[in-house]
Structure 1
């Protein structure tokens, strides 16, 4: 019996989702604020690495203190994949908004608690143990934070503006670093490095609580994303009930079915986050510990660099909507491979203008990645498994990237070679080049498994017109291919003595 293929329903103007501008702005603000708080803590931890080493590991040498403090920074990344699996499944089960509210609560409480931990001099080995526990709680919550926030913005954004809108998530990350650096600098200026080492290091962590309250308020007031609402509403009743049991596809099946997207996601995250942690977490300690600058000088240089990144970030996102995401991943990776060594030569020169130039080169390259990551990754997976698949791939990658500060600090300490960070970046750049060549272009296209999204009715009409034009072109291509095959068939028949048309 021959099965009849069900005719696909034509896409009409009603099928194009019109995005409400006010809801979009609220979504971006709420998502970016939570991400800013996450990176505020990471930034503060990096800027205070030397001070925290004296407080929690006072009996070790300065070099070992730095490695131990950065190791405490890296260990929680072992927990992030567990948080990603946990929150990813919940995000595909209950929606994105609820998960983002939960993650910001855990993150703000664990960050605030770091400021309450007594020093090693007071409670001995329990001090670093408590620090590690707080960092592990952060790692668990962050496992669902970035992926949830990027998905939230992507599912709220019009197709033609997803790159620009997604770039504001990383704008929040950089802004969090700037805020963390500014707070450390201000406290150091007011109480001096001795006061900072004694008790002032606690103050930046206390800021996490009010930031968390504001973020929770904004996220709690948000509606669920249009893409997820559409996913639930269009399911049959039985499937909708099954949604409460979580994604029906297992992690192994996700990897097998979407292996290319999974590997591309891992590659993009590794090249982005290794460069990120190298520049914004490890570099302040590198400037002060390895090059002999004061912590204040190191922080001032990084603040200036990050302020420049804030201006470049949305520009990259905007350009990616016009030229695509792949050119920035490929171009940024090639630039990182070619310029990593020259950049560190400038940084190691001892001259502040050259140091600034070297850091600026790395910052612009980093912007090429951060400007497109939040818009590229969610587009790689369909709605029904987007959160769980992306959270898994993202946090596996971050598990590798998160070791960057510790590994680099150890390599420099063990080899006394200040160029080790550059060689490390070159190896990562090779991964980025391969990934950029392998990934599919997603700019100006609907999210996988979702309806087209537009800013207004006029844009919706244009999208529909382009969609129909694309179909017409595909039909013409198929007809041309049929004509070519018919001609080839005729030639082969003519060559055979017993076959007739």
Structure 2
């Protein structure tokens, strides 16, 4: 078995060890995004089950607001679980977050609705999303830290991109499960009880993830870091941690907005404003997610070769230029093949950013404080610009009486992201801090 060195850490580790670590790190992100996309796709049914009313838009807004509430807990989750990971190891923190996420996903599947428990039902749903957000806030960035710290120098873009691959797999599994029930159940069955099935299936990932994570080692980079320095020393010797977290948060604005618009909200948008049949929408999104998962490591590899910044800037520029005219074309009435091609194009642009973004944002931080402060920056950015993106898009359409309104939000995020990326140093060939 060929061995590979990890940024100067000794001893070298085998490719098989890195592969096992990547699978263990990725399964939690797969569950996290499976849960998110399942909620996003089924928001219409959750709104009617937990927030019934005479106005369908109001029920949908309530469901999306609850979706966004979970993201408010992410900064706290990044603080708590990230601090634990920086002091006691990535493995211990990831094992705990895996159990919490799986439990909460399953609870949503068995939760009584408004018709059974009245106002207590939506209150419990909000609580469940808050707990899920707390655990997810520590999961994603700690898993990314785990991956990047295992990666050999010169391959951090590729290995770090596997976090986005895992997220894409979660989206794909969620999309596939919703597509399956949407095409096999009647609308009445889907509304009555069918929406519960994907959440119950997600709970089954928990035991598998726990077993995988219990069987892997701590990262070499972290083991070396704790021998030579402390969290407090790193906080003194480097730029203030809050500044690094702020940089990470700004960097993640475009990624968050584009991710939730194109891979979550677009399914609702296509049905409500493009009048596309639900089976076509879900099938298209499922195939697009396959494309997304396949392209991410390709762009991660490219970022290792030509640098992170060219890949990231190309994604921002393409999105800023194409979003408005393509949405205008879709709203003008198009055939299914044109709709599918448009979704695939947006997917490629997002995969470009996702391939390079993971390593880029992790490389901003020293190893000893990476999980906590990356978690805080990520949590705040995703809470504001990610989790509430479906709500903001729905609100913009209602306020401006135009389904084109969300395009301005996407374009603004792409411009901010592109300008900020120009200010960053290139880190593709640099040593991990």
How far residue 267 of structure 1 moved from its aligned partner, in angstroms, is: 2.1
Q: Aligned partners of 2:164 and 2:290: how far apart in 1?
A: 13
Superposition TM-score, scaled by structure 2 size: 0.94
- The answer to whether the aligner puts 1:298 opposite 2:292 as a matched pair is no
How well do the aligned residues superpose, as a CA RMSD in angstroms? 1.9
Q: Aligned partners of 2:344 and 2:8: how far apart in 1?
A: 47
How far residue 259 of structure 1 moved from its aligned partner, in angstroms, is: 6.1
Distance 1:212 1:350, change over 3 A: farther
The one of 357, 360, 363 aligned to 1:379: 363
Aligned match of 1:369: 353
Q: Aligned partners of 1:254 and 1:99: how far apart in 2?
A: 25
- The answer to whether the aligner puts 1:176 opposite 2:189 as a matched pair is no
Larger radius of gyration: 1
The one of 375, 382, 393 aligned to 1:408: 393
Aligned match of 2:4: none
Q: Aligned partners of 1:222 and 1:170: how far apart in 2?
A: 20
Aligned match of 2:206: 212
Tell me if the contact between 2:234 and 2:368 (Cα under 8 Å) persists in the aligned partners.
Answer: no
Alignment of 1:300-379 (within 5 A): 300-351=283-334, 352-379=336-363
The one of 192, 195, 220 aligned to 1:198: 192
- The answer to whether the aligner puts 1:113 opposite 2:97 as a matched pair is no
Alignment of 1:19-418 (within 5 A): 19-235=13-229, 247-248=231-232, 257-258=240-241, 261-351=244-334, 352-401=336-385, 402-418=387-403
Tell me if the contact between 1:342 and 1:358 (Cα under 8 Å) persists in the aligned partners.
Answer: no
How far residue 342 of structure 1 moved from its aligned partner, in angstroms, is: 1.8
Distance 1:179 1:61, change over 3 A: same
Gaps of 5+ in 2: 1-6
Distance 1:227 1:58, change over 3 A: same
Cα deviation, 1:361-407, whole Å, max 9, x if unaligned, reads 22111112111122111111111211112111111111212211101
Aligned match of 1:474: none
How far residue 98 of structure 1 moved from its aligned partner, in angstroms, is: 0.4
Tell me if the contact between 1:254 and 1:389 (Cα under 8 Å) persists in the aligned partners.
Answer: no
Count residues with an aligned counterpart.
Answer: 425
Find the residue that maps to 1:18 and give its secondary structure: strand
Distance 1:33 1:14, change over 3 A: closer
Distance 1:298 1:23, change over 3 A: same
Gaps of 5+ in 1: 1-12, 236-242, 449-501
Find the residue that maps to 1:159 and give its secondary structure: coil
Superposition TM-score, scaled by structure 1 size: 0.81
Find the residue that maps to 1:19 and give its secondary structure: strand
Find the residue that maps to 2:257 and give its secondary structure: helix
